[in-house]
Amino acid sequence: MITRLITYSLFTHSVGTLLLRYKMSAEEEASVAGGSGPKSKITGLVMARGGSKGIPGKNIKLMCGKPLIGWILDSARASGVFDEVYVSTECDKIAEVAKQHGALVHIRPSELARDTSSAYDAIKQFIDTHPEVEVCGLMQCTTPTTHPDHIRMAAEKIWSGYDSVFSVVRLHMFRWSEIKQKAAATMPQNLDPKNRPRRQDWDGELYENGAFYFFTRDLVCNDGVLQGGRCSYVEMAEELSCDIDLPSDWDIAEQRVQKYGFKTT
């Protein structure tokens, strides 16, 4: 089995290295190594509306000296897997920053950029407007710790025959049911209290971390979903999994970007 070890030098001060391990199945190896056919065209997409309420102007607010959206756009460009990368926005300022980082701009209709608008509807509108898109790689600018190799791993899985690939994080957390009635009691959801495992003896569980979703055009147009068909995932390290929604999230993400973010120079 092919095992790829990708080692990054982390920032300019000495913080060690981060190892990312990706294991391909035998079927994936044969498909990629054997050149089973032409690779599907993958178009990158970043959704970035201008009306953020939790953190006003979030998508272009400076993080570690760079607009937030610039982190994912730089990683997308460095991955080398996209024919084009678009930013879907209704905001002129975001559009200008996107162009500065080498992205094309898709003007999102204002009715699809409201607080109540569905992200899926905006994605579907982009797909419908661009009939040349075969596979879409949706990347979230609110996860600025996504590295080019995460994106390459997702693309390789698409090229090996998967219909959808998304990012996950492995967590070692025990879940308990919520108490919704006064007399009710909580119950364990993923453990036996009589046989409580040590962390090192438990593989944990995989959770979506929302960093990216790759999917075929057919999934969106025919099934109305982003995840379906033959599904796979790319696992990201816990320290690289962050999502910026609240002001407190920003501070945490900034610390992680300083230590682990992908640097272009």
Q: Cite the active site residues.
A: 196
Q: State the number of CA atoms in the 13 A half-sphere of 259 facing the CB.
A: 13
What whole-number distance in Å separates Cα of residue 101 and Cα of residue 86? 11
Closest CA to 127 of 221, 18, 23, 244: 221
Question: In a 3-state reduction of DSSP, which class is residue 135?
Answer: strand
Angle between helices 68-79 and 92-100 (to 10 degrees): 40
* Ramachandran area for residue 37 (φ above 0: left; ψ -120 to 50: alpha; else beta): left
Please tell me the distance from the alpha carbon of residue 154 to that of residue 234, in angstroms, as a whole number: 6
Tell me the pairing of strands 42-47 and 231-236: unpaired
